[in-house]
A and B are shown apart, each in its own frame.
Chain A
Amino acid sequence: MNVQVLSDQVLLNSYLAGNRSAISQLIERHSRRVRDYIRMMVKDNDVADDIFQETFIKAVRVIDDGRYSDNGKFLSWILRIAHNQVIDHFRARKQSKQVNESEAGYDVLGTLRFAERTVEDEMVSAQIENDIRKLVGFLPEEQREVVTMRYYAGLSFKEIAEQTGVSINTALGRMRYALINLRKMIREKNLTLC
């Protein structure tokens, strides 16, 4: 099993066993990604910081209440909470200022669909993950290769470039197009990520 997955699980278990500092370490590990995600959507650092805090307060509350079912996807879960907090923020703006949807920020929400995951969604989640894995197989060979090396083998972009005999720029470009193509396929198949 991947060390990163073990580490998130270990920290969570440690926190649940009473080690309060473990949750701080877990939050710190993922804070950059979560903060960047929120900033990309709200485009305001102060608002992003507030939503960032609300996100982790909510996450810790769910964990403390025993409602978090660990499945090795802690970061994805946190990002979905952050996404929903951003939606709430836009809704509140829309209501308080009588602004249209574009002014409220709804136009930046994108088209990927996320679901709040419950324990009952285990089977659905597993099926969706299986579907996503199959979509990787439909990517052009060069993009599939980068995806395989990065996600399955955990290689850095520099390592991928070296092993495939291309420049780092080319490897990065292939990765970007791989993600864009996967997003397109996910939308076309109406998959809801959870």
Chain B
Amino acid sequence: MEKSDDYALRSVSDEELLMREVICGDHELLYLDSYLAEILRS
């Protein structure tokens, strides 16, 4: 089950995976992700 799920997900872009499976319509999580990406990489 996991392998077939992964197979389908491999063709999806990273940003799309983030939006669909991590952010899930929660604008605060979208902000946090953007913010963390900028402060943790600097």
Binding site for B on A (CB under 8 A): 1-2, 4-5, 32-33, 36-37, 40-41, 72-76, 79, 83, 108, 110-112, 114, 129, 132-133, 136, 147, 151-152, 154, 156-158, 161, 167-170, 172-173, 175-176, 179-180, 182-183, 186, 193
Contacts and interface: CB of A to CB of B under 8 A. Distances in A.
Majority SS at the chain A contact face: helix
B28 A176 contact: no
Given A158-B10, A167-B5, A147 B42 contact: no
Contacts of B9: 158, 168-169
B27 A40 contact: yes
| Contact size range, B | 20 to 34
Contacts of B3: 167
A76 B35 contact: yes
Contact of B39 (A40, A132, A175): A132
Contacts of A170: 2
B6 A154 contact: no
A167 B17 CA distance: 13
B28 A133 contact: no
B35 to A, nearest CB: 5
Contacts of B21: 169, 172-173, 176
Contact of B14 (A2, A32, A158, A186): A158
Contacts of B29: 176, 179-180, 183
Given A40-B25, A151-B36, 13 more contacts: A40-B30, A72-B42, A75-B37, A75-B38, A76-B38, A132-B39, A151-B41, A152-B40, A157-B18, A158-B14, A169-B5, A179-B36, A182-B36
A114 B31 CA distance: 10
Nearest to B29: A179
Majority SS at the chain B contact face: helix
A76 B2 contact: no
B26 to A, nearest CB: 7
Contacts of B6: 161, 167-169
A73 to B, nearest CB: 4
